[in-house]
Amino acid sequence: MQNKIKIGLIGSGHLGKHHIKHLSKHVDINFVGFFDKNKELAKQVSNEFSVKSFENFHELVDGVDAVHIVTPTNTHHEIAKECLNKKKDVFIEKPITKNANEACEIIDIAEKNNCIIQVGHIERFNPTINRLKTVFARPHYIEIERLAPFQLRGTEVPVVLDLMVHDIDLILSIVDSNIVDVRASGSSMMSDTVDLAHAHIKFENGVVANLKSSRIAQNYVRKIRTYEKNLYTITDLMIPQIEVYGLEKNSVFSDECIEQSVETAAGTKNLFYEKIIPQKEDALLNEIENFIISVKERKKPIVDGKQGLKALEIALQIEQKIIKND
């Protein structure tokens, strides 16, 4: 029988705890333990999940096959480099690193040492988004809003690298075309970096994506709208639900859909409406399972280092445009 892969984790803060919750009870792996430089927090997390907290980073990393890096973004490069130089596979939370040079360096080390890098773009594993991808055909206009009230966590990087990078990765996974133009504007208020950002991304095939991210909003908002000929979708990731309006009754609509006649420029037409409640699944668990399979079978993960780098490069381009406009 094949031995279970040994996984360790660095950074047991807000998100790290969720990783530990899944890793510590996953039957296909041996969760060896974690290291957090905050000793008080490490003690609490160790008690809460009955897992071993290591006093020493190297002692943990030397004893595992793969490492989850769930520390603030400005530490990803240094920690990933240490792990990859020891020939360990790494799962790195998003964004891959704080700049492109750092990302390129760790991708090179991973390639040289035949190691896997997976980047934590969790929306690729979100069941609502994956259901939405089966509803639209070829949207020509996509709008995504990701708003959150202010908190200090994550402000070591601008909102574009913290929140918008999720949607940049998503857009890149939906639109199979080169980017020809990026425009952006934004503002700072509560941190030293950009807290509110708008980006307008145009692709060679004519598709346009409008992204809005804020960490100074009153409420949490996560909405995706897609527009294409005869079909409009509005997805609320917070509920979660997908609402679909169409002028043709195609396979997207069930027999229970609502139908009403509307006046359009081309005369009276039937408008079909369907509300889809997607299946409940844990996106983080799906993401972790993709990493476990990739490590076991030496397969490319769904979001590898190069895709993490691509999303980061676009995010940095948006950030630069905002700073120049300021």
Name the minimum Å distance from CB 268 to ligand NAD: 45
**If you write DSSP's letter for every residue of 32-80 in order, what string do you get?**
EEEE-S-HHHHHHHHHHHT-PBPS-HHHHHHT-SEEEE-S-GGGHHHHH
Helix (H, G, I), strand (E, B) or coil at 216: coil
Residue nearest to ligand NAD (CB): 13
Name the minimum Å distance from CB 63 to ligand NAD: 16
Name the minimum Å distance from CB 179 to ligand NAD: 23
Give whichever of 48 and 326 is closer to ligand NAD, judged by the CB atom. 48
Give whichever of 16 and 301 is closer to ligand NAD, judged by the CB atom. 16
Give whichever of 11 and 246 is closer to ligand NAD, judged by the CB atom. 11
Give whichever of 271 and 285 is closer to ligand NAD, judged by the CB atom. 285
For tokens 């009754």, name the residue. Answer: 249
At 92, list the tokens.
């790195």
Name the minimum Å distance from CB 138 to ligand NAD: 28
Q: Which residues bind ligand NAD (CB under 6 A)?
A: 10-16, 35-38, 41, 70-73, 75, 93-94, 120, 122, 153-154, 162
Name the minimum Å distance from CB 223 to ligand NAD: 16
Name the minimum Å distance from CB 69 to ligand NAD: 8
Give whichever of 207 and 302 is closer to ligand NAD, judged by the CB atom. 302
For tokens 């996974």, name the residue. Answer: 173
Contacts of 11 (CB under 8 A, 6+ apart): 34, 36, 69, 70, 71, 72, 75, 93
Long-range contacts of 39-42 (CB under 8 A, 24+ apart): 41/12, 41/13, 42/12
- Residue 76: exposure state from Cβ atoms within 10 A (0-12, 13-18, ≥19): buried
Give whichever of 98 and 321 is closer to ligand NAD, judged by the CB atom. 98
Contacts of 44 (CB under 8 A, 6+ apart): none
